[in-house]
Amino acid sequence: MLEDNYKQRGLRKKLVKILEKKGITDPRVLQAIGKVPRHVFFDNALLEHAYQDKAFPIGEGQTISQPYTVAFQTEKLEVKPGDKVLEIGTGSGYQACILLELGAQVYTIEYNKKLYEKAKSFLPRIGYKPYFYLGDGSKGLPAKAPFNKILVTAGAPVVPEALIHQLADNGVLVIPVGDREKQRMVRIRKKNGHLSKEEFDYFSFVPLLGEKGWTR
């Protein structure tokens, strides 16, 4: 259902309030969540789930991340207009839309062919145009590096070295790192070639697959 009526806009406002209560403070991130229609990523029969603060299956054993998780990762990424951003794990494409709303130039890579094809044909229909790639994002996207920001939206066993290399100076990488069940959100900054690392709350993502991720 591509329509976006007063009811859905009202539900989005409520969702923004919930996220504020949970500690999201960046007004630009909240505005982006208030703007991107999340219900269009759901089948008609599941519309009532679209504006609840929870993750939801999107097929192929994958999920559209919980809105709080999307907001948390986006806030930590400190996206500025014009930033060149790499998102690893396109999934539904919802997170890519949020990054585009923040004025970023978005490169998004997905490992699963069906999800890649679905997002690539669907996002432009609702007005969002990131650059889509099919491949193993655990190795980054060397052909298009460096990136000002890199966001990993699947749980990684370690921080892949390639992602650090592909980060521009003054760049920020946000990545959930841990075991298959739960991961700690990690932020790495690169400044004058030096790296600094911060750790935040625990989250539970589907696993990052591929060469530097988990084997199935």
**Window 93-122: contact mask with ligand SAM (x via CB under 6 A):** -xx-------------xxxx--x-------
Q: Where are the alpha helices (DSSP H) in the chain?
A: 6-21, 27-35, 67-77, 94-101, 113-125, 161-165
Considering the complex, state which of residue 146 and residue 207 has its C-beta at the smaller distance from ligand SAM: 207
Angle at the Cα of 25 from the Cα atoms of 173 and 147, rounded to 5 degrees: 20
Determine if residue 127 is left, alpha or beta; phi over 0 gives left, psi from -120 to 50 gives alpha, anything else beta: left
Interface positions, 55-94, toward ligand SAM (CB under 6 A): 62-65, 88-89, 91-92, 94
Considering the complex, state which of residue 103 and residue 169 has its C-beta at the smaller distance from ligand SAM: 103
Min dist CB 91 to ligand SAM, Å, is 3
- Of 59, 102, 95, the C-alpha closest to 80 is 102
Min dist CB 192 to ligand SAM, Å, is 29
Min dist CB 193 to ligand SAM, Å, is 27
Contact 29, 80 (CB under 8 A): no
Q: Please enumerate in sequence order all residues whose Cβ is within 8 A of that of 11, keeping only pairs 6 or more positions apart, or say none.
A: 39, 50, 51
Min dist CB 71 to ligand SAM, Å, is 12
Interface positions, 191-210, toward ligand SAM (CB under 6 A): 205-206, 208-210
30 counts as binding ligand SAM under rule CB under 6 A: no
Q: State whether the Cα torsion 120-149-55-128 is positive or negative.
A: negative
Residues that are catalytic: 65
Min dist CB 45 to ligand SAM, Å, is 19
Interface positions, 126-155, toward ligand SAM (CB under 6 A): 136-138, 153-154
Tally Cβ neighbours within 10 Å of residue 50. 21
Please work out the total of residues on this chain that contact ligand SAM, with binding judged by CB under 6 A.
26
Considering the complex, state which of residue 19 and residue 109 has its C-beta at the smaller distance from ligand SAM: 109
120 vs 133: CA distance, rounded Å = 9
3 token code pair: 């329509």
Exposure string (b/e) for 57-85, b if CB count within 10 Å is 16 or more?
A: ebeeebbbbbbbbbbbbbbbbbbeeebbb
Considering the complex, state which of residue 8 and residue 63 has its C-beta at the smaller distance from ligand SAM: 63
Residues in the site for ligand SAM, rule: CB under 6 A? Answer: 62-65, 88-89, 91-92, 94-95, 109-112, 115, 136-138, 153-154, 205-206, 208-210, 213
